Structure 1
């Protein structure tokens, strides 16, 4: 199973089955060696609210200590605070132990070395080295030494200073921490800024007793929606490790690409990066308003890399990962993204009214097609061949973008089919200027996928 936990942009698996003493110590040893080889002298290690955090932390730190790198324990924190510990020049590297929004038996690692995500080919190399260590039966003794370091206070001070102008803001806000890691820092920040905020489920608890910490699922937003029926004016939901946000008004759930458009309204000639799932509206309207939009691959590591290469000011994923380089460090931080939304409101921007002005389009949410890890990329390749041959039921194809799966653009809409990098599914999304065309595209592509799957 070790083979499958090394994903495109992080390591993610089930506690004890995949992430156990043997595998985690081997990962720690080889990761520590790689960090030293790259010139990193120290690493900060933090974790989210998962129940397995303590065991995994001990095993990982034992491996890192065996490698000889200095280890610092930054405690239970949102993943962006771990990134902050490196970008704020306190540490050379960071590892966050997090299961993100996965079911509670999962955990994993998000890795940063010298302000760069450690992903893709690097993770595959780490996998090979960890497997070799395990096969060689290398003994790694328990060594839980880690110097405690309070990065949370520095992060809170930074956010409070950056958004001091929001102090005493007259707006009734509801925030749902979902018993995730955001609860470790958010209440104190809100108190310092004297915000009129009701914070739901702030106590980190890996049992997630109130609802699952995944704000991309509508069912997990019901408490926010209920609050918005009353006196509250805006709501925010966070995922388990605090790098993904949901923003709700009384009228709508604002998706990540819509947020990017709203943020761009107060930015001067912004360079904005979206992913292949983003609405065409986002790209077109940002360009129309004097900005410059770019399309890239899905995934936080891919986005951070592209942001550096393209000198991007702000990036967004539909799922609610928002990355600001303008006035910030360029990593995805849901708490920071929330305060940038509050700034928009303070500046008099009516979020609903601005989105109502956009050209009317109809779109589906993500529609997932279950498959296997071994077949998902083969299905995409087979689909490319079918499209190259021509699919007679489809409207005229204007463009095929294949940077991440296949995004097929037509005169009045588009279809996306891509393999998920984190789960054994094919992800699809459809958008068009009419409801009829959305349904037609969905039907044609779903039938194509079904036919390809049956032929395998």
Structure 2
């Protein structure tokens, strides 16, 4: 069994029954339980999203955890942010595992792991993979002993108190829960605040019968866009991914990317310290620098949480809609909390569309994925960086190597980086005009093809 492919940079993720099956998941549970006990954890909270494989994987994981001897609390079907929340609520829990496939197709599932309040990722996951191999053939009996814990009610009570100023607000908006885990929170939370949105696809269904649970793909926004176009009273719409740690906001004229939302949130925080990942627009870095402090960091929720602690960051974001609030919150990505903070901006009188339109006009390409094997993708990026350093591109003002290569040309920038979760290279281009963006893209891709050809030959 080839397990390396499922131990990603930020989490464990694979296809149910192929890579994630009784044998592998029981061993993962056992090794994780032992690791948590080594780190002085007395207990772990375990939750899961709406995927059809959740029940089987939950049983396998608990069997392994019980064999290790750690106390387990079952927090049920909830969004991933409630797993994180369980580590802060009353300091009851020492670790958390969320069984989730996030935004991936329905046959995928996986595990997001937090020990203490630290993401368990990177080298730690690689070392865990080695341990799992050693225990694949262990006899691990079925044992789903656990204690149920109602984190959902505590989360709703917390959010209702934090956003009590929104209670009874007569404002028309729409929400697409994508048949993911968001629905179990959104409906009771809206009732608690006496808000009356138009809610789509609230029923959790791991077959995702209406559309894939990835709101960053425009085709998955068609249903909520139709609702907004049909009912002119609806001012804004919100869409969540499968485990609700990401948010997309949109109206009839614009889809707000994660870096745009980050800028809007930063405008409502005094002297903010803000972190944007390498894919974020130049506007985020330039504009926030005028009223706060801005940092650039690596892509990935685990990397971002780590840097937030190191640099005392108030707010961080990925273009894909992961928004991290330390300001008035706990410093992890929570799409539901970000949704409430967006409502709060509108309630305060912020005109979100006008604020974005006032920014310098930049033209950004969609994220382009170039297939590359796990073995070659990092070699390609390293070779490309060397080619840039040796003068392979004209007009280069600066080369940032925090995460791949982000090349600043003054009038625009280009990014080439290796995905940490998939066999792809990721490219992104932005400039002051479509022509300039196209020119940057052509020059960068020409150099990349030359570098790739040299490596192959």
The equivalent of 1:439 in structure 2 is: 438
CA distance in 2, matches of 1:416, 1:222: 29
The equivalent residue for 2:224 is 224
Q: In structure 2, what is the equivalent of residue 430 of structure 1?
A: 429
Give 2:126's match in structure 1, choosing from 124, 127, 130.
Answer: 124
> What is the CA distance between 1:239 and its match in structure 2?
0.2
Rounded Cα–Cα distance in structure 2 between residues aligned with 1:302 and 1:93: 18
Shift, 1:382, TM fit: 1.3
Counterpart Cα distance in 1 of 2:160 and 2:200: 20
TM superposition score normalised by structure 2? 0.97
Paired with 2:364 and 2:75, the residues of 1 have a C-alpha distance of 42
Shift in Å at residue 453 of structure 1? 3.4
Q: Which runs of 4+ in 1 moved over 4 A?
A: none
Contact 2:387–2:451 (CA under 8 A) maintained in structure 1: no
Correspondences of 1:327-366 after superposition (within 5 Å):
327-366=328-367
- Residue 133 of structure 1: how far off its partner (Å): 1.4
How far apart, CA to CA, are the structure 2 residues paired with 1:76 and 1:84? 14
Post-superposition offset of 1:191: 1.2
What is the Cα deviation at residue 297 of structure 1? 0.3
Aligned residues of 2:213 and 2:241 also touching (Cα < 8 A): yes
CA distance in 1: counterparts of 2:20 and 2:242, whole angstroms: 19
Q: Normalized against structure 1, the TM-score is what?
A: 0.98
CA distance in 2, matches of 1:65, 1:342: 42
Displacement of 1:388? 1.7
1:247 aligns with 2:246: no
Aligned residue number for residue 412 of structure 1 = 411
Other structure's SS at 1:185 match: helix
Q: Give the deviation of 1:286 after TM superposition.
A: 0.5
Who is 1:159 aligned against? 159
Distance 1:315 1:158 in 2: 22
- What is the rounded CA distance, in whole Å, between the counterparts of 2:179 and 2:185 in structure 1? 12
Q: Distance in 1 between the 2:103 and 2:452 partners?
A: 28
Deviation at 1:377, TM superposition (A): 0.8
For 1:270 and 1:112, the matched residues in 2 are separated by 26
1:190-246 deviations in Å (ceiling 9; x for gaps): 111111301100000000000000000000001111111122110000000000111
- Aligned to 2:366, the other structure's residue is in SS state coil
Match of 1:388 in 2: 389
Q: Mean Cα displacement is larger for which, 34-43 or 165-174?
A: 165-174
- Cα pair 2:29 2:64 within 8 Å, conserved: yes
* RMSD of aligned Cα (Å): 0.9
Secondary structure in 1 matching 2:81: helix
Pairwise CA distance, 1:343? 0.5
Question: SS in structure 2 opposite 1:417?
Answer: strand
C-alpha separation between the residues in 2 aligned to 1:447 and 1:215?
A: 31
Correspondence for 2:20: 19
Aligned position for 2:38: 37
Instruction: Measure the CA separation in 2 of the matches of 1:451 and 1:23.
Output: 41
Distance in structure 2 (CA, Å) of the matches to 1:448 and 1:102: 32
The 5-angstrom pairing of residues 317-332 of structure 1 reads 317-332=318-333
Taking the aligned partners of 1:453 and 1:100, their CA distance within structure 2 comes to 32
Q: Which residue of 2 aligns with 1:268?
A: 270
Unaligned segments of structure 2, at least 5 residues: none
SS in 2 for 1:386: helix
SS of residue paired to 2:98: strand
Query: Which segment drifts farther, 382-391 or 335-344?
Result: 382-391
Q: Which moved more, 1:279-288 or 1:381-390?
A: 381-390
Distance 1:359 1:264 in 2: 17
Give the Cα–Cα distance (whole angstroms) in 1 for the partners of residues 127 and 220 of structure 2.
37
> How big is each residue's C-alpha offset from its partner over 1:312-336, in whole Å with a ceiling of 9 and x where there is no partner?
0000000000000000000000000
